[in-house]
Each structure stands twice: as C-alpha cells, then as structure tokens.
A and B are shown apart, each in its own frame.
Chain A
Amino acid sequence: MSQEYVVATVDQVPAGKHIIVHVRGREIGLFNIDGKYYALPNACFHQNGPLCRGAISGTVVVNAKTEWKRTWAMQGEVVVCPWHSLEFHVPTGQCLAYPKRKLPTWPVKAEGDQITVTM
C-alpha cells in the first residue's frame, strides 16, 4: 500500500538541482525542474549504474520537424547516466534511446518546507 514519505526540505533541492534520498530501502533521485518535483530510481536498467548521480542536461533531437538538422532540446529535463550515458527524460522516466523502456516515477509534492514522495 502506498504511503507518503517526507524525504527532504525544499531548500535542499532548489530549481535545477537533484539529490539522492532513501525511501523504503531504495535510493531515489529527487529532481526540481522549474519548481516541479520528480522522483526516479537511482538505478539505470542498463547495467545498474547510479543514474541519478548523473548530470542534468538537454539532448540532441533530429527529426522531420527539425528538417533532419541536429537541434538541442529538453534542456534541464534529461538526466544522463554517469556510467554509459544512457539518457532519461526526468518528468516521464522515458528512456530516450529505447522507446519501449521507461523507469518508474513516483508522485512528489512540496508542502510547506517539506518534500514528500508517495511510494
């Protein structure tokens, strides 16, 4: 049964930053993107690397809309695994390389000066 856990205070995770917290025995990456909070597991499914210790970035997008030119997009929304550079879209957990692979995400909210994750 899911439950809310207080995991951090808001001043620990200012906009553009992310930290690692522990919830129910799991390591979770807690992200603040423009004032919205997100949580991803700190484990990349590729080789179990510490995904959320990776840098926040954008990514290269090439498609018909960009007229097949290289463009930079999603700045601040992509976490890159520090081991082998697999990229994940933080708000959705979507792996950018593999359209069928998504990481689980958990609801995060700030109440007063506390941040809670429902897990």
Chain B
Amino acid sequence: MLSSTLQDKTIKRNGMTVVDVDVHAHETPAALAPYIEMPWRKTLEHLATVPARYLDIPGFAPNIGLYPSFPESGGQRRMTVTSADQMRTDLDDLGIDIGVLFPDHLLTHAALKQTDYAVALARAYNRWLVEEWLGKDNGLVGALIAPHHDPVAAADEIRRYAAHRNVVAVYLPTCCVDPLYGNTRYDPMFKAAQEEGLPVMFHSVTAIHPVFPFNLHGFDTTFGAHILAHPFALIANLVSMMETGVPARFPELQIAFTEGGVAWVPWIMWRMDKEYAERRREVAALKDRPSSYVRRMYFATQPIEEPEYLGDMATMLTLFGGEDSVLFASDWPHHDFDHPSKILQIPLPEETQRKIMGGNALRLLRLEDRVK
C-alpha cells in the first residue's frame, strides 16, 4: 500500500487504541469453493472461471454498472486484501490496532436469489473467515454473515460462532434487503444475536436493485447514486425497525450502522420524532421518542462527511450523543476509505477522540480485556 506520511506520529500519540470497525477481506468464488457444500461447490468452481470484475460477479456479487468511467478517476482504485497477513500489514501501516472484517463481494449478499444458495454461501464465508482470517490473536476480528434470507438459518449461524473468540459481531447486508429488517420474519435472528450478546452491524453498499434504495437508476452518475445509496439503505432499515419496535422488543440487542457516514443520524432521528408525535399509535411498541432508541445505537464514521469547517462535525456529533456512539471505520481497502487522521482532524477533546477511535468499539464488541 501507499503509506501515509502522517502514520504513527498522528495516530499513536498518547497510546490511543484504534479500532476500525469496517475493513474488507476479499472472498472470491475460488477461495470459498472448498468451504461450500455440494451442489454449490460446482457453482463456485464455475464462477471461478469467470473473468474477475471488481465487486461484480453474476450469481455471486450481482451488480449493474450503469456508468462510464475514465482511467485514474475517483472510485476507480481497485485494491483488495486477500490474506490475513496482508491485512495485518496494511492495518499496521494505517496505525490501526484492531480491525473488524467484513466481506467484499458479499456486501450484495441480499441481492442473491435462491435462499438455499444464499444460506450455503453465508455458511461457506463464515467457515472461511474463521479458518483463514481469525485463527490468530493479531487484532483481526470478524463479523459473521447472518443469511437473513432464512432467519432461522441465520440464527443458527449466530449461535454456532457466538463463542468464537474472534467473532465479535453479526453482519447484516443492508442494501437490496426485501423485506426491510423491521419485518417480524427476522425476529429469530435478532433474538439469537441478543441472547448471544453479539451486536448486529448493518452494512451498506451501492447497487442498482428494485428494492430500497430503489430508483438509483434515475441518476446520471455514480456521484449521484453513491451519495444516496449508502445512507438511504441504512435509513430505510432503521425506520423499518422502528416501525415494528425492534429496539423495544429486543432491548438488549446492540445495533450498529456502517458505511453511510454519520450526518444523517440527527436528521432521521428528528424526522422520526416528528412523525411519532402524531402517529404514536402506529408504533405503540416504542415507549418513548424514536430518538431515545437511536441514542443507544452505534454509527461508524466512514465515509465521514468533510464540511469546509470541520468544527461543524464536532457540533453535529453532539446532536445525537455521538461521543459515546460513533465508531471509527476506514473501509480499507476500498476506493473511498478514510485514513484515521481524517477523524483526528475534527476538533474534538482528546477524550472524545479516544472514544470514537477505539473506546466505543471496544465496549460494543466486548474487546476491552484485549487491550493492555
């Protein structure tokens, strides 16, 4: 990787622990083929012969690329991390102590049709993740995929890996999900996560798909689609969960949102509060304003907003208690990754920086005893 000239000097001051709640392991059909059961091994062996396309493989990571591009344009940098050793080296260069692994291709897992295949693929990914990435105590921890297509199977996966020392969260693909996560069909999954004490992390991505965030085809550019796809998918699922009272019905369930930035949080929190005043009866499972639940949820920074005056970010964080609920995320090695130094440029008290860069994540992921 191209190292930052700022590394270590900025990040490692005063022994700050940096936890990155969103880094990506590159799982390919060929890599997962040995871990998937038949007949799907045949599928992955076949897909392994398809010429590689960046995060876009029919039948594995379905996506629709609508937009032309130019060489060296933004968004065209296509890096992958294919081994735990490489990831550890990269995170060391970035000044990151602990990284939470998410997949690459399976960010669009929700777009897959055929429930049995989607479940088999999730199981294969989880086996591969545990076997090839989470075997050492080297600061690499992971989020298992819960195959929400079959919520009972998802609950089984959660229970299967909950005791694994380095499985620290449940990854729920948030783009292309239908129905949205408030639907009570998902209750077994949330129940398992709550009982096992694993936080659920909703992770967004950009994809053109008939379900939320739909109508992205209406944009002429990746600029337009990418701005809205990520936060819209998170917002839609948050609102959906509020509709059926997920945070009231699963009061111990810990909920985190990744890859939508954070500035949408106060906006949707207040929109929900406004509507709640008039329509409380429709969401009667909630005991208080939606914001009272949002304030107990967690939000990952990447892609962090970059207003002209970074002090505005510090102000914005105070609007929803972000000091205690915002989690640093880099999204390494994706094209729009955020270097830790970007977060540290926000004028925040050192104690708040410590929480956002690591303290909040250590608490959420129950990793406090791993840090000296």
Shortest distance between the CB of A102 and any CB in chain B (Å): 14
Give chain A interface residues in 63-110, CB to chain B under 8 Å. Answer: 63, 68, 70, 84-87, 96-99
B245 touches A98 (CB 8 A): no
Known: A68-B285, A70-B284. A97 touches B245 (CB 8 A): no
Q: Which residues of B contact A61 (CB under 8 A)?
A: 284
Please classify how large the interface on chain A is, using the bins under 10, 10 to 19, 20 to 34, 35 or more: 10 to 19
Complex: A60 Cα to B282 Cα, angstroms: 8
Most buried by A among B249, B279, B280, B282: B280
Decide if A46 is an interface residue (CB 8 Å cutoff): yes
Decide: B288 and A99 in contact? CB cutoff 8 A.
Answer: yes
Number of residue pairs A-B, CB distance < 8 angstroms: 35
Please tell me if the beta carbons of B277 and A60 are within 8 angstroms of each other in the complex: no
Given contacts A84-B278, A96-B280, contact A62 B288 (CB under 8 A): no
**Most chain B beta carbons < 10 A, residue from A59, A68, A96:** A68
Q: Is the CB–CB distance between A97 and B289 below 8 Å? A: yes
**B interface residues, how many (CB within 8 angstroms):** 14
A97-B276 in contact (CB<8A): yes
Complex Cα distance, B278 from A84, in Å, reads 5
Q: In whole angstroms, what is the CA distance A97 to B285 when docked?
A: 11
- A residues 16-71 touching B (CB-CB < 8 Å): 46, 59-63, 68, 70
In the assembled complex, B342 has its CB within 8 A of some CB on chain A = no
Verify A62–B277 contact, CB threshold 8 A: no
Bound Cα distance A87, B284 (Å): 12
Main secondary structure of the interface of B (DSSP, over half): helix
CB nearest to A80 among chain B residues: B281
User: Is the beta-carbon distance between B278 and A68 smaller than 8 angstroms?
Assistant: no
A62→B288 CA distance, assembly (Å)? 13
- Bound state CA distance, A94 and B47, in angstroms? 61
B165 at the interface (CB under 8 A from A): no
Is B287 an interface residue, CB under 8 A from the partner? yes
A75 CB to nearest chain B CB (Å): 13
The 8 A CB mask of B20-45 against A (1 = contact, 0 = none) is: 00000000000000000000000000
**Is B281's CB under 8 angstroms from A60's CB?**
yes
Q: How far is the CB of B181 from chain A (nearest CB, A)?
A: 16
CB distance from B186 to the nearest CB of A (A): 14
A97 touching B280, Cβ below 8 Å: yes
Indicate whether A85 sits within 8 Å of B245 (C-beta atoms), given known contacts A62-B285, A68-B285, A99-B287. no
In-complex Cβ contact of B284 among A60, A85, A86, A98 (8 A): A60
Q: A70-B284, A99-B288 are in contact. List 20 more A-B contacts (CB 8 A).
A: A46-B277, A59-B281, A60-B284, A62-B284, A62-B285, A63-B285, A63-B287, A68-B285, A84-B278, A85-B278, A85-B279, A86-B278, A86-B280, A87-B281, A96-B280, A97-B277, A97-B280, A97-B289, A98-B288, A99-B287
Question: A residues engaging B (CB < 8 A)?
Answer: 46, 59-63, 68, 70, 84-87, 96-99
Q: Which 7 A-B pairs have the closest CB atoms?
A: A62-B284, A60-B281, A62-B285, A60-B284, A97-B280, A84-B278, A85-B278
